[in-house]
Structure 1
Amino acid sequence: MQPDLELVHIRKGESFAAWMHGYPFRTVRWHYHPEYEIHLIAATSGKFYIGDFIGDFEPGQLIMTGPNLPQNWISDVQSDEIVPARSLVIQFAENFIEDACATMPEMDVIRPLLDRSHRGLLFDDGTSAAVRPLMEQLIEARGLKRLSLFWQVLDTLAQAPEPEVLASLSYELDLSDIDASGVNRAIAYLREHLTEPVGEGELADIVGQSASAFSRAFKRHTGTTLVRYKNQLRIDLACQLLLDSEEIKVAEICYEVGFSNLSNFNRHFLKLKGMSPSQFRTTFAANGALAMAD
């Protein structure tokens, strides 16, 4: 089964993404992305998949993956159970870290870490315990403090006892087949233009299909229409921004994620999340703080 491309949003004015998500969540599927990822399980147990590796996870598991390495974590919970804070995540682009390595000689110490992460790295409990408070602070931090914590996380991982390498030496994702998939090419384009008014006809032209053929293929692949899929992605992005900072006004987030008016944004948010954006911010933040304390 070919993995889906995940859209990783790195906000303007920031070098990397750092966030927390619950369960269920849109990224809980067999997926890949071009960014490096540091993933720490805060709650639940279950089964995880990294490349051709399959294993069991529990709270405290810390894994780093390199670009385009397929992955998934499936929690063993009741079908109607909602976990407010399951995973702490840091994601950063390859060009960002390569540019840093090229300009700062001190960065050479993390080069082996970056190289080995292409097969997925599982760290020991001691490293996880050291990294978790740094990631928790990082999610809330701003400015230079944010950068300082990011480098501390990488330095801790680079100095950790030998991590377990997960995917086999022979495993390699065949991106040629994925890139040839019309829907994944369309999703890749959406990745770069999520907040712009991209229509079905434009995407159909990009992948060389008729509008009707693309529409059918897109619905088979995603289980929904392009309009609903795009609105879902934008609302998911809005949720991330709502939790990033209480200082960002709801109206600012509305326009930043691509909605043209506040009433339309509020209507879609209520439909998809069952509450208003302000209620989501208050409720989820309270639940998340409680879960983190547990």
Structure 2
Amino acid sequence: MKPQFERVTFPKGCSLRVYHRRVPEIPFEWHHHPEYELTLTLNSRGWRFIGDHIGQYQAPDLVLVPSDMPHTWASTATPDAKEPHTAIVIWFSGAWALRLAEICPEYGKIRRLLRSATTGLAFSTETAALMSGRLAGLLGESATNRLHTALDLLLELAEAETTPLSKAGVTVPATSDAEPAQLTRVLNHLHKRFQEIIRIDALCRVGNISPRSLHRLFVKHTGESVSDYLSKLRVGRACMRLAETDLPVSMIAGEVGLSNLANFNRQFRRVRQMTPTAYREYFQKHGELPGGAGEGVQVRPRSLDRPRRRVSRR
């Protein structure tokens, strides 16, 4: 099965990304991305697939997945039926971590950890419990505290006993190399310029791709059209501005590239199932964003957020 490319975006001003996943089930989502991924799975058991490794897992399960190694988890049950399947995921760039180890000798052990992780690594339940004890720092609102906690954790993991998971040399099939590169160029352009007028022909030039191929690429890797993806991107930014400022809705609409207020309200309602005003009122009343917490901890990369056909293990 060909793994899907997942685009992991980092919050502005952050060196890594933390995601607190709480779901009714963990579906089979065979995918890869350039970032290293450290995943602590809690209140869940089932099967994990890392490269050519297939094995059972049960909470607490801690695994480090290297850059571009296909992987997924697929749950079968929750030990505590009253609570959802939970995972704490940390994504970080290998190049960033290696530069840090080179510049700061105090972090030199991280280089050894990444070198050992080329096959994917599983850690002991005791080490997983160590990460569980750091959740307050990893899931806190302070990006600085999240960074410090994650770095301290990586240093301790570098000293921990590990079990290799996949055979060396397992990589993403070469046939998928071009598409992620094209998609990444287009997505980077969208994320930087979404406040402006976006034209398909301009995106095609960025990705060096035809309009038909661009549409096919988006549907294949994000599950939606370019216009739908752009709409969600603009609405997502508008949500942040509604929560963090008292600016009029019309001004925020203009900021995100939807100067027509009626069109902005229509797109916002379609994406969030409520009006911008209702969204702001909910935040002011409850002190949190409808549907989850803020950017940087609770938001999953959208490239895999869509309904999927269930795949059973054979």
Provide TM-score, normalisation by structure 1. 0.75
Instruction: Rate the CA distance shift 1:124–1:105 in 2: closer, same or farther, 3 A.
Output: same
1:204 Cα deviation from its structure 2 partner: 3.1
Q: How does 1:116-195 map to 2 (within 5 A)?
A: 116-161=116-161, 163-174=162-173, 176-181=174-179, 184-195=180-191
Q: Does the Cα contact within 8 Å between 1:186 and 1:203 map onto a contact in 2?
A: no
Identify the residue that residue 300 of structure 2 maps to in structure 1.
none
1:276 Cα deviation from its structure 2 partner: 4.7
Amino acid of the residue matched to residue 168 of structure 2?
A: L
Task: Report the Cα distance in structure 2 between the residues aligned to 1:41 and 1:237, rounded to whole angstroms.
Answer: 29
- Structure 1, gaps ≥5 residues long: 289-294
Over residues 98-118 of structure 1, what are the superposed CA-to-partner deviations in whole Å (9 max), with x where a residue is unaligned?
221111112222222111212
Larger Rg: 2
Which SS does the other structure have where 1:76 is aligned? Answer: strand
Task: Report the Cα distance in structure 2 between the residues aligned to 1:178 and 1:111, rounded to whole angstroms.
Answer: 28
Over residues 46-94 of structure 1, what are the superposed CA-to-partner deviations in whole Å (9 max), with x where a residue is unaligned?
222111111222221111112111111122369xx99766211111112
Q: How does 1:32-181 map to 2 (within 5 A)?
A: 32-76=32-76, 86-161=86-161, 163-174=162-173, 176-181=174-179
- Structure 2, gaps ≥5 residues long: 298-314
Q: Does the Cα contact within 8 Å between 2:24 and 2:85 map onto a contact in 1?
A: no
Instruction: Rate the CA distance shift 1:87–1:102 in 2: closer, same or farther, 3 A.
Output: same
Q: How does 1:258-273 map to 2 (within 5 A)?
A: 260=258, 263=265, 266-271=268-273
Instruction: Rate the CA distance shift 1:126–1:102 in 2: closer, same or farther, 3 A.
Output: same
1:45 Cα deviation from its structure 2 partner: 2.0
Which SS does the other structure have where 1:2 is aligned? Answer: coil
1:221 Cα deviation from its structure 2 partner: 5.2
Percentage of identical aligned residues? 25
Q: What is the total number of aligned residue pairs between the two structures?
A: 272
Over residues 243-293 of structure 1, what are the superposed CA-to-partner deviations in whole Å (9 max), with x where a residue is unaligned?
xxxx845979x78x9564663563243249xx95847835646xx9xxxxx
Task: Report the Cα distance in structure 2 between the residues aligned to 1:27 and 1:228, rounded to whole angstroms.
Answer: 24
Task: Report the Cα distance in structure 1 between the residues aligned to 2:58 and 2:237, rounded to whole angstroms.
Answer: 27
Identify the residue that residue 289 of structure 2 maps to in structure 1.
281
1:164 Cα deviation from its structure 2 partner: 0.9
Task: Report the Cα distance in structure 1 between the residues aligned to 2:86 and 2:236, rounded to whole angstroms.
Answer: 16
Provide TM-score, normalisation by structure 2. 0.71
Task: Report the Cα distance in structure 1 between the residues aligned to 2:25 and 2:232, rounded to whole angstroms.
Answer: 11
Which SS does the other structure have where 1:91 is aligned? Answer: strand
Q: Which has the higher contact order (CA 8 A, sep 6+)?
A: 2
1:177 Cα deviation from its structure 2 partner: 2.3
Task: Report the Cα distance in structure 1 between the residues aligned to 2:171 and 2:97, rounded to whole angstroms.
Answer: 22
Q: How does 1:177-216 map to 2 (within 5 A)?
A: 177-181=175-179, 184-195=180-191, 196-197=193-194, 198-216=198-216
Instruction: Rate the CA distance shift 1:70–1:215 in 2: closer, same or farther, 3 A.
Output: same
